[in-house]
Chain A
Amino acid sequence: MSLTAPRYSGLLVVLLMVLQWAGQGIPSPVRPICDLRVLDHFIMEARDTETALRGCKAGCGVTGTFVVPLTNVDFLVWETKDIWEQAVEVQSGLSLLGQALGAVGESLSNAVMQSLITNNKSNIRSLGQVLHSLHIKRTPPQVDATIMKVSSLSELLSVHINFLRGKVRLLLKNAPVCQQSSP
């Protein structure tokens, strides 16, 4: 028997409270959210959505082209970028994914899938707030070489998962605020 890790449900409550305050426009000092277990939770939910999609015929009837961020990480290249470049890349990518998921949700006929997609979209918004807590400013999406186009829901969800597991996680792990607060 070993010492078990505490559950992160309490952290989610704190995050929701932060989001609520942000939504109300009440400026308040936001405590940085450095616990990666929140991100892990969002990643797991994205996987559940991808798994549920396999049971959906013909991609659940979703058609169209979606602009999504690139997910590949070459550490030799990534480490040459500073934190703000990384943050810009992550924020723009999250924005693109949010837009794409929003467009998918409107055309879905499957109620279960629609619910899951809506949840994933909500998670992306939450990640934006987490990045805000790290004092990383938002930037508008940029059309550059860091984007690509996909034409199916499965590709979209795969990009969603890879982006969260890769660049988002690397940014959160190496955030200067979190580096200062960790022992």
Chain B
Amino acid sequence: EKKMTNDHLKKLLVYCMLCCTQKIIVQGAQTFQTKVALLRHVEPNNPKCFAEGIRDLTCFWEEDEERAGSAKQYSFIYTYQNENSSECNVTALPAAGGRILYFCRLSQTQLFVPLDIQVFRDGLLIHNRRLHIELFFLLDPPVNLTVKRTEKQGQLKASWMPPPLKYLDDSMMYEVSYVIAGTQMGQVEEVRASSEVILLGLQPGAKYSVRIRVKLDGVSYNGYWSAWTDPVLMATLPGDLDPLIVSLTLIISLILTLLSLTVLLSHRRFLLNKIWPVIPNPESKFQGLFTVYGGDFEEWLGYSAGGLCLRPAYFYSEELPAPLEVLSEVSLDLPSSPLPPKAKQAPGEDEKLKRIDSLMERWRETPHEHWLMDQLRVLHQLPGPQCSQLESQDAYVTLNAQNHSGEEPLDDILEETLPLQALFASGRTCSESHSDLGSLQQSSGSGRLSTQSSFEYPNHTWPPKGPGYTYMAVADSGVSMDYSPMSSSRIDYMGKGVIYTNEYRNEIPAHRQPIPFAF
């Protein structure tokens, strides 16, 4: 059992040694390949030689696979000054790009003396070179690179272990590369004869990637830059608010604020007009309307009616009174017959019809000029129907002077396209479609109603179809509408029937003159 145990232990030991050796060989091979790749770019001469320590030298060259031969075809002869020549065994390895790499490694060398190297292939000299080995060092990268924060902001301390080479430690120089992680912008710091450095002027609170490489300083020894170490990440201390910067920031902010206020105050009127424009006040045009009558235009009109004639500006305002096309059929018959289908039959309309009849009656009785206005005012006081005041259902008041003999459907009469004469010619029934004459005196908020009145004021007067032709002129000044009978005859004719209304549009012919008023 002991023998078996010893055998097992021996096998295990051999296995471990093999693994370690294999690992070392693999690492060595990787290192060799890395150095070969480095020298391939920086050394133009052949053979390319480098020393990894004070006792070795490795030289290699590459050839295309087409021209390449076996390693035995090559001879590597080296000669130190004042000494005899020696030969090194050449080894071949496959290289990238279909090339063959030949190399020779000397394990015992002499420094500070010229060395002549000659490479032969099948007896023919292909490479010849003289060099001093102490000037061709290619070291391994430093190890154990450590980056720490210092107590001060914007600083990092990097330390590392130099390559373990005797006699060369004080001849080494290092390059420390530090960049902000994730960026390409950074700096390179050179350090001589020291294995630590404090990086200054770094950004507070930033993460830095630090790496380092080594080379001999070139005085007694020289060589190539080694490969970079693996980067080490470290963040600097977050920055504190510098009191000077804070105070300067406050002062500058205060100055900018004062400047802004000064500019704003100097242009306050302009800015106010832009941001909050003044609403035009028509009070100047209507003296006393707001101060005395509190904006009640009716009252203002009533009290100032006597002076309207003396105030032509009232009639000749910026907006010319719109001519009103007044179309209606006034039937003298009582509304015993059913109302036309288009007429609105809303609850409360019966009362209104009665009201209108009474108005007609009164109209016959009081053929005063102001009677119509009064009636219109009364009508305005009536509760409005469900229809909106904004609807274009203003009342048309037409006084038809003819006796209508025929019965005609009301629908024909409702066509707006019918000429005025035709309407006046027919239409013996009056139907009430809308009674909201008060909508004519719309508040300024709606702004529509008064513009929807039109007055067809033909050049020729209405042909008197018959006696008793009556008409009323309506003036729309844009604020309110004024009704005034232009002439009347057979007023009693208006007492019958219902008022027939139609939609109308406001058209102000350019050539129309403002309607003269006469009460």
Contact = CB atoms under 8 A, between A and B. Distances in A.
Interface of A: 1-3, 5, 36, 40, 43-44, 70-76, 148, 158, 162-163, 165-167, 169-170, 173
A61 B117 CA distance: 31
B113 A43 contact: no
Interface stretch (B190-198, B304-312, B323-331, B350-358): B190-198
Interface in B284-320: none
A1 B220 contact: no
A74 B108 contact: yes
B134 interface: yes
B32 interface: no
Give chain A's interface secondary structure class.
helix
A2 B193 contact: no
Contacts of B220: 40, 43, 165-166, 169
Contact of A162 (B55, B108, B109, B113): B113
A73 B111 contact: yes
B218 to A, nearest CB: 10
B193 A76 contact: no
Give chain B's interface secondary structure class.
loop
A98 to B, nearest CB: 19
Contacts of B113: 70-73, 162
Nearest to B132: A162
Interface of B: 54-55, 80-82, 108-114, 132, 134, 167, 170, 176, 189-193, 197-201, 219-221
A169 B199 CA distance: 32
B163 to A, nearest CB: 16
A165 B192 CA distance: 18
Contacts of A43: 219-220
Given A3-B198, A76-B55, A36 B170 contact: yes
B425 to A, nearest CB: 109
B55 A5 contact: no
A173 B170 contact: yes
Given A2-B197, A36-B170, A44-B219, A73 B82 contact: no
A74 to B, nearest CB: 5
A72 B112 contact: yes
B200 A166 contact: no
Contacts of A75: 54-55, 111, 167
Contacts of A40: 219-220
Contact of B110 (A3, A5, A73, A158): A73
Contacts of B200: 1-2
23 contacts: A1-B189, A2-B197, A2-B198, A3-B197, A5-B192, A5-B193, A40-B220, A43-B219, A43-B220, A70-B82, A72-B81, A74-B110, A75-B55, A75-B111, A75-B167, A158-B114, A162-B112, A162-B113, A162-B132, A166-B112, A166-B220, A169-B220, A170-B167
